[in-house]
Amino acid sequence: MKSKSNVTIKDVAKRAGVATSTVSRVINNKSLISEETKEKIIEAMRELNYFPNSLARNFANGNACAIGLVIDANDNNTFSNVFFNKSVFGIETVAQNNGYNILITNGGEEKNGVTSVEKLILERKIDGLILPSVMAKKKLIKKLFELDFPFVILGEPENFKLESSWVDINNTQGGELAVNHLIQKGYKRIAFFSGNPKAIFSQNRLKGYRQALASAGLSVDEKYIVYCEETPAAGYNLLKEIFKMPQPPDAVICSDNIMAFGVLRAAGEMGLLVPKELGVLSFDNYPIAEYTNPPLTVVDVDTYSLGEQAASILIKKIGHEKEVNQQTLISTSIIARESTNLKGE
């Protein structure tokens, strides 16, 4: 059909006066080939401008050289999600370096009882799967085990936590880091404006928050822990609300930059000086974080590494029949900016 009359391995073999198997062995540098024939073959390949047809190779080898990446069908902001994007970049880089392509798929839809992910696997389009924890439903994971199909979860999953491989940001450590930074700067009454309490990352951050306060010998005031949406409006309202308390906090940890944005605005309106009278710290380092007024101290999460790790674990799994499961946590770090600089150092 689509011919373009291309050079094949046979042409190379003929030209070099050897069998196709020998050429194949040179391409894959397998077994022992004498230096002499090797050079002859490489020369022939160059002369004919030969490139191995990857379709034929994949077919013969029975692997697609592709890894599937499930995206959240319900979140049509997935692609404007910085968290997601940077990890995709990490995945992409590692995959590329190992000769794998990325195949993005919508996790949701089901057709005649077969999900699109399942179809991808059964049609042999992918050799492994990376999926965000929100997509790691029991049913799908069971299916993957059944098919003995290699996969890695992005973010700590709710189910099969021990039986499967996953990579996550060390949110507990991040929560500790946030509190320790604020304490070290001189803040004493630290509130926590959390996102969705059902999300595991929220729970872990809170865990770190509690641990760090305990280690510092400070008590946890449950009224200082509040859950809300990750919007500026929520941050704005929450700050105004919490300052009605007889003893309001002197610092706030926000689970999101956008929320912190609202907190800063509210502080401005209330005439509260940041960082003198209120420290503000947020998880994640969005591009806007350095441009807020004052610039925002953040817990930086390295989602690029997250992606890198996920991909390299997956590729290892694809290679070896049985691999021990692996759970990896990526450490966070503080980027200190003006919003928590209590002593004006």
Partner DNA sequence: CGCTTTTATGCAACCGTTTGCATAATTTAA
Partner DNA sequence: TTAAATTATGCAAACGGTTGCATAAAAGCG
* Interacting residue ranges for a second copy, rule: CB under 8 A: 1-4, 51-56, 58-59, 61-64, 66, 78-80, 82, 85-86, 88-89, 92, 96, 101-106, 119, 122-125, 148, 232, 258, 261-262, 265, 287-288, 291, 293
What does 97 interact with, of a second copy, DNA, none (CB < 5 to 8 A by kind)? none
6 lies in the site for DNA, by CB under 7 A: yes
Determine the straight-line distance between the first and last CA of the chain, rounded to whole angstroms.
72
271: left (phi over 0), alpha (psi -120 to 50) or beta: left
Collapsing DSSP states into helix, strand and coil, what is residue 280? strand
Question: Please, which residue, 38 or 189, has the CB nearer to DNA?
Answer: 38
Structure tokens at 82: 């910085």
Question: Please, which residue, 1 or 324, has the CB nearer to DNA?
Answer: 1
What does 209 interact with, of a second copy, DNA, none (CB < 5 to 8 A by kind)? none
**202-203-209 Cα angle (round to 5):** 90
Cβ-proximal residues to 248 (8 Å cutoff; 6+ apart), any chain:
189, 242
- Work out which of 39, 43, 47, 56 binds DNA, going by CB under 7 A: 56
- Least distance in angstroms from the C-beta of 102 to a second copy: 6
- Least distance in angstroms from the C-beta of 266 to a second copy: 11
Interface segment toward DNA; rule CB under 7 A; list 51-59, 128-136, 314-322, 328-336: 51-59
Task: Give the C-alpha separation, 214 to 179, whole Å.
Answer: 10
Question: Please, which residue, 99 or 197, has the CB nearer to DNA?
Answer: 99
- Work out which of 29, 45, 60, 261 binds DNA, going by CB under 7 A: 60
Alpha-carbon distances, residue 272 vs 61, 278, 285, 330, 336 (angstroms) = 66, 7, 23, 35, 20
- Least distance in angstroms from the C-beta of 321 to DNA: 15
Collapsing DSSP states into helix, strand and coil, what is residue 60? helix
What does 28 interact with, of DNA, a second copy, none (CB < 5 to 8 A by kind)? DNA
* Nearest by Cα to 115 from 68, 79, 153, 63: 68
Question: Please, which residue, 60 or 324, has the CB nearer to DNA?
Answer: 60
48: left (phi over 0), alpha (psi -120 to 50) or beta: alpha
In this structure, what DSSP letter does residue 121 have?
A: H
- Least distance in angstroms from the C-beta of 103 to a second copy: 5
Residues that bind DNA (CB under 7 A): 1, 6, 8-10, 17-25, 27-28, 30-34, 36-38, 50, 52-53, 56-57, 59-62
